Amino acid sequence: MIRDARVLRAGFVPQEVEHRDAEVNHLSSVLDPITNGEPADTAIVTGPSGTGKTCISKFVTERLREEVLDVEAIYVNCWRNYTRFRTLYQILDDLGATIDIHRQSTPHDELVDRLQQHDGPRTVVILDEVDQLEDPSVIYDLHSLPQFAIICIANKEEELFSRVDERLVSRLRSSEHVRMNKYHDEQLYDILDARAKWCLDEDVIADDQLYRIADAAAGDARLAIGILRTAAGKADRENHERITDDILLDAAEDIRAQIKQKSLDSLTPHQRVYDIVREHGPVGPSEIHQRYTEEVDDPRTKRTIRTYLSKMRQYNLLEAEGTSRDREYATVESRSAATTT
């Protein structure tokens, strides 16, 4: 029943990108100078999750590599490589220039020097989730090297700009900016339909089911494809002829639970803090810490709890109201599968 499972996997780059012609062309035009061997500007791609930022960036660079012989593409996820050192190391590693770098004793500046001396083909560096970098100066490092074209991917441009210093802000403001919006339900349907045709046998899933997935995903393509993948996998394992509505419902729940669990897993065991906020409704920091201290063996200090809270805010698990003494934390209302009907 599943013809080609790759098509539904995360990170799959399709042959054709649906409904993103303008954005694809925009990004292509930024990289266009490379086809003549000239340096390209830095591009910034922003938009909410699941809008295809990573997808079109990879798509455009792959197409560029088909056109131009001498060009390399490097993809770095800054979420996983969130220090300046790691990011630079990752790039050098992909270039194959890390042979004699030992983490001891190699100063950061030498990594930049090493990149500068790199005289291979022109290289497009995709910095994904660049707003997760703890030290965004790595953008500056790369920005000054003409042999590297940079694509910065971030959720919100303001958050990106607020964290980099002045000189970089002014440079980034003048660079090309591709903004992505959430998909409409019909667009999402088209994407799902295309993937389903590729990956699944005919009649495994009905049109109206695809519509319902699109609806439940609320404009997030990654979520939508995840639901389809989970549903297809489950139907396959259980030897169903086709995807039933029950399976679909389960899959939608599974994916949401997975996403939340994934966020929770990346926190320390002291995530009890999250439970406290969930159980006691909107609540201020003092009360959180007080309750937390009572429930845990070796409590952390208030300052550390503040760090946890702000981390959970980043992960979209909590939201905060108020900026000073009036601040209260609450759990984020999870967009349920039944938001729209």
Partner DNA sequence: GTTCCACAGGAAAATATGGAGG
Partner DNA sequence: CCTCCATATTTTCCTGTGGAAC
Looking at the Cβ atoms of 39 and 322, the one nearer to DNA is 322
Report residue 176: phi and psi, to 5°: -70, 140
Would you count residue 336 as binding DNA (CB under 7 A)? no
- According to the binding rule CB under 7 A, does residue 99 interact with DNA? no
Q: Is 303 in the site for DNA (CB under 7 A)?
A: yes
Give the range of 11-19, 92-100, 201-209, 306-314 binding DNA by CB under 7 A. Answer: 306-314
Binding mask 64-83 for DNA (x = CB under 7 A): -------------------x
Among residues 63, 57, 14, which one has the least CA distance to residue 35?
63
Between CA 339 and CA 289 the distance in angstroms is: 33
Position 103 contacts DNA (CB under 7 A): yes
Positive or negative, the CA dihedral 295, 310, 181, 15 is: negative
Residue 260 has φ and ψ, to the nearest 5°, of: -65, -45
What gap in Å lies between CA 102 and CA 203, rounded to an integer? 55
Could you tell me the smallest distance in angstroms from the CB atom of residue 106 to DNA?
9
- Judged by CB under 7 A, does residue 137 bind DNA? no
In the bound complex, what is the minimum distance in angstroms from residue 262's beta carbon to DNA?
16
Query: Given the rule CB under 7 A, which of 6-14, 145-153, 179-187, 301-309 is the region that contacts DNA?
Result: 301-309
- Residues 174-203, one symbol each (x = binds DNA by CB under 7 A, - = not), give ------------------------------
DSSP string, 229-265: HHHHHHHHHTT-SS--HHHHHHHHHHHHHHHHHHHHH
Buried b (16+ CB within 10 A) or exposed e, 248-273: beebbeebbeebeeebeeebeeebbb
Q: To the nearest whole angstrom, how small is the minimum distance from the Cβ of residue 45 to DNA? A: 24
CB of 290 to DNA, least distance (A): 9
CA distances from residue 207 to 26, 47, 192 in whole angstroms, order as listed: 32, 28, 10
One residue of 48, 233, 282, 285 binding DNA per CB under 7 A: 285
Task: Give the integer Cα–Cα distance in Å for 136 and 151.
Answer: 14
The site map against DNA for 245-284 (x = CB under 7 A) is -----------------------x-x-------------x
Binding stretches for DNA (CB under 7 A): 83, 85, 103-105, 268, 270, 284-286, 300-304, 306-307, 309-310, 320, 322-327
